[in-house]
Amino acid sequence: MPDTTGRFAGRAAIVTGAARGIGAATAARLAEEGAQVLLADRAPEVMARAEAVGGVGLRIDLAARGAGEAVVDTALDAFGRLDILVNNAGIGGSKPLLDSDDDLLERFIETNLTSVLRLTRAAIPHLARPGGRIVSVSSTFGIAGYPGTTAYAVAKAGIAQMTRQLAGELAPEGILVNAVAPGVIETAMTEGHLGSDYYRRAVLEPTPLRRAGRPEEVAAVIAFLASADAAYVAGQVIAVDGGWLAARHPPREAG
């Protein structure tokens, strides 16, 4: 049961991409602190995840037209209000631009950017004023270039710019818009990369903390941005990356 004394008591949230990883950790964190949470994902596991945290599950392809309205309507039907939107859903596996056909480009932009714009557009009229929060998940690759991730990086850069744009538009109405930019986090999306020696030497070892992050560590920052503790924070894209953007260290010598 939600904590009726927690900092999100009486508040309702939508978390997308909530079947696993950062989304699942965020939904659990918000629910633990009292929020009513709608967990949306196209993966069937979302229903069990929702039950585990005492939330409402919705299995849906967020890239489909009309999905944004369907998610918001489900939340309003379940909770009667909407206070927090966490845009986390996305896909990985991008390629260099010359290896990216039209289908790949469209899939990444549609899933990682356009669907976020649509859901956010659907949610804005219903968010609490004042006190509404929009927190989106960008990426360090949307801030600093990294070879071979063009479509993914461009979409995540779009999320960062959407955050700045909407912060200016919505803050006067009492809705605060921010984002996080995770570095390498231990999720299903990064599992294959973390087993690669090249990837570990190119990305993990240059990270000052010398390790991948955990979904719960990103969820903690999202929860902060969704809370009253962040009442004077707007338009920020906060890196949760172990220091990778700030100070990349040379990889250790092999052996």
Tokens of 183: 């570095």
Question: Rounded CA gap, 106 and 202, in Å?
Answer: 28
Tokens of 140: 């360090």
Question: Rounded CA gap, 180 and 159, in Å?
Answer: 10
Angle among Cα 163, 169, 170 to the nearest 5 degrees reads 85
Question: Rounded CA gap, 5 and 82, in Å?
Answer: 19
Q: Where are the beta strands (DSSP E) in 138-225?
A: 176-182
198 catalytically annotated: no
Identified catalytic residue from 146, 152, 198, 232: 152
Q: Where are the beta strands (DSSP E) in 188-253?
A: 237-240
Residues near 63 by beta carbon (within 8 Å), at least 6 away in sequence: 107, 110, 111, 114, 115
* Element housing 130 (H / E): none
Q: How many Cα atoms are found within 13 Å in the side-chain-facing hemisphere of 197?
A: 4
Active site residues: 152
